[in-house]
Every structure is written in structure tokens, then in C-alpha cells.
Amino acid sequence: MPSARQVVALALPALGALAAEPLYVLGDTAIIGHLGTTSLAGLALAGLLLSELLGFCTFLEYGTTARAARLFGAGRRAEALDVGVQATWIALALGLVVLAAIELAAPAALTLMAGGETAARDEALAWMRIAALGSPFVLVTAASLGWLRAVQNTKATLMVLATANLGSIGLSVVLVYGAGMGIEGSAIANVVAQAASATWFVSLLVRERIDLRPHRGRMRVQLRAARDLTLRTAAFFAAFTVATAVAARMGESQVAAHQIGMQIWILLALVLDATAIAAQALVGGLLGAGAIAIARTLARRLVIAGAGLGVGFGGILALGHDAIPQLFTDDAAVLAACALLWPFLAGMMPLNGVLFALDGVLFGAGDLRFMRNVTVAAALFGFLPLTLYAAATGGGLAIIWAGLSAFIVVRLVGGLARWRGDAWAVGGAHLSDEA
């Protein structure tokens, strides 16, 4: 059984690494927010669209961790690292395809999200044209996070991401205000950080002194996870993109408040995901070594830890319901809209703490088909009915955030039921789905 010290040694650097990107986004949101509500609304539209489109490639991260952690636990380190090599080649190729697709589709997609060729849409397009150039770097970073977590080297992920994103915040301030580049300066800083991170991660793989050549057959094996994880991501894409599109049609103040709420949600969700990162690496390794009983015990402890973290963050948000939004804007209409969504934002945190720990356990086991099914069900039967009702009736942000809360509740109920069963707890080097 991994000791509490081992769990913390993985979770704390993972927590810092997970927080680095959303902290950068929060800082960028604050920088752009002081340019005006139109610029903030543009960042909300473009930032969400870009992140969700790149999120369709999440298999590069989670699929890599699941497969490599099993091999690492079975004592096959070289094969685990080769999973990282093949994932990196896939990331480079896919990143170029994604870049071309985003540049072609961005004008129409942003017009649809904004409800027309509005001023916010124009700001969003200016940002997107530049920020999309970082797509290959983002995907290489995702693949790198996957193999580094699998071999339980979360310290490297923290060092790379924290350094790159802190530098990018400073560059963003210089370009946005010092050089007067506005929202485009933010996008340039974004790409610089992503390029630096990807280059650093690739150098870590090179230092392992393994065969770096692409292998078509081994890449095909890894792409098997793409179907399930891509469909799962599609459910998230539908939930978050539809929510932002509905908010945008309510007005600039509403979508700006939604951007603030979503970025805080993402930041805290990813911080809570530190327990999931530890679960992916440790549970996957234990199952790879055939230690099923120990994996189950560790999973229970991680779920309890996630619940405690979630309660703590929920309390902080509840206490800061007035002060926290003012860090991002002084617009009275935006602050009033934030007050509507805040109870849902704070109330979801304890649920998120348990849910993300469960996600980590099931990802570590390679129970990917179940993860796909429960997320799609949550989108169809939890989120979409309430959010489409808000769109049809002109309901406010509270209904949208009630839909997001329902999305979490459905996933949590399904995850708890799965965790109590035996289908995920399969030993050996193969994923649970394959076994």
C-alpha cells in the first residue's frame, strides 16, 4: 500500500501543475477584464471554444496515463516510456490538423456562439486567430503529462508548467498594456507559454535515451482509446459550449459573469483533480502489478481526501461571494449576474471533490467505456434539458448553472455505483476495457 507520504508526493506537485494553466487563464481574465466588458466577453467566447476543441484530444493525456501506468506497475518501464513517444508523435500530427480546422471554422463558429457579428465576436476572432497557433504545442504537452504521471514524475510537470505560465502572465501584461496590443497581446503570450512548455517536455523525453522513432502499429493501439474519450469529451463540449452560447444571448454582462464563474470552476476543479492524478498513477500501477485489494483500499482513501478538499473550497467560495468577483471586474451589472450563479458554483465543490477522485480511480483502471457512457448520459439527461429550457424561456444564469450542477450529480451517482462494483478492478498490464 502506498503511504500517505507517497500519495502527497504525487498529489502536491500535480496540484501545482494542474493549477498553473487555470491560474494563468484567471490572470489573463483579470487583465482582459479591465480592458472592458466587450473584451472580456470576447475572451469568454474564444477561450471556451478553443479549450473545448482541444479537449477532444484528451485521450492523449488520459489514455496515455492509463496505458503507461499499467506497464510501469508491471515493471516494464521502457514500454511505458514508448507509450509517451508514440503519443507525442500523434500529438504533433493531430495538432497541425486541429490548427487548420480552427482557423477555417473560427469565424462561423464564433458568430453562432455570439448570436451574430457582434463586437464581442470580433474581439473573440482576433484572439482566436493567434491563440490557435499554439494547438500543436498544447497537444504535445497533453501527451507529456500523460507519460510523466504514469511514471510518477509529477514534479517535472509542475516545474515546466509553473515556469512557462508565470512568464506568460508577465508577457501578457507587457503586451496588453505596455505595447497597447489589447486582446491580441494576450493571445501571443498564450502561444509563447505553450511553445516553451512543449519544447521543455520533449527534451525530458529525449533524456530518457529510448527509441524516439514513430511506430504505426503501436500508435494504432493507443488510438483505440480515442473513441471512448473523444465521445466523453464531446459531452463536456456540449455542456460548456451550449452554456456559454445561451449566456451570450442574454447579454454581455451575463456572458462576462459566466466567464468569471467558469474560470473559477475550472481552476478549483483542476486543483481538486490532484487526487485524481495520484489515483491514475498509483491505482494504475497497483493494478498493473496485480495488487487489486491494495488498489481498492487506496481508491477509498483518495475519495475521502477528495471530499475533504471539495468541502474546503466550497466554504471559501461561500465566504467570498462578494469579494472574489470584484477581483475580475468592477462592472455593477456583471457583479449582479455573478451573484446569481455563485450558490451553484460553491455548492458544486464538495460533489466535484468526490467525483474527480472517482474519475482518477476509473481512469487509472482503464475503465474508459464506462467513463464515456456516464458522461454522455449526464449531458443528455442532466445538463441539456435545463439549459435548453433557459434558452427557450429567456431564463437567467441560475438555470444554466442548475443544469451544470445536474451534469455533475448524474456523473457522481454513476461513478459511485461503478466504484462499489468489481468491473474496474482488473489486474495485469492491460486496461480494464481490454481485459
Q: How far apart are CA 74 and CA 290, in angstroms?
A: 8
C-alpha cell at 242: 451550449
pLDDT over 60 (residue 435): no
pLDDT digits (tens, 9 = 90+) for 171-229: 988 998 888 888 888 889 989 989 999 999 999 999 998 889 988 888 888 787 777 88
Q: Does 275 have pLDDT greater than 90?
A: no
Mean pLDDT, residues 71-80: 89
264 and 19 in contact (C-beta within 8 Å)? no
Distance of alpha carbon 112 from alpha carbon 121, whole angstroms: 9
How far apart (Å, rounded) are the C-alpha atoms in residues 427 and 61? 22
Question: What is the C-alpha separation between 55 and 142, in angstroms, rounded?
Answer: 10
Question: Which cell numbers hold the place of 130?
Answer: 493567434
Predicted pLDDT of residue 239: 81
How high is the mean pLDDT of the chain? Answer: 85
pLDDT in tens, 278-300: 788 888 888 888 888 888 988 89
Local structure of 3: helix, strand or coil? coil
Q: Which of 65-69, 305-309, 353-357, 395-399 has the lowest mean pLDDT?
A: 395-399
Segment 399-425 shows an average pLDDT of 91
Report CA 315 to chain centroid distance, whole Å. Answer: 23
More confident residue, 154 or 136: 136
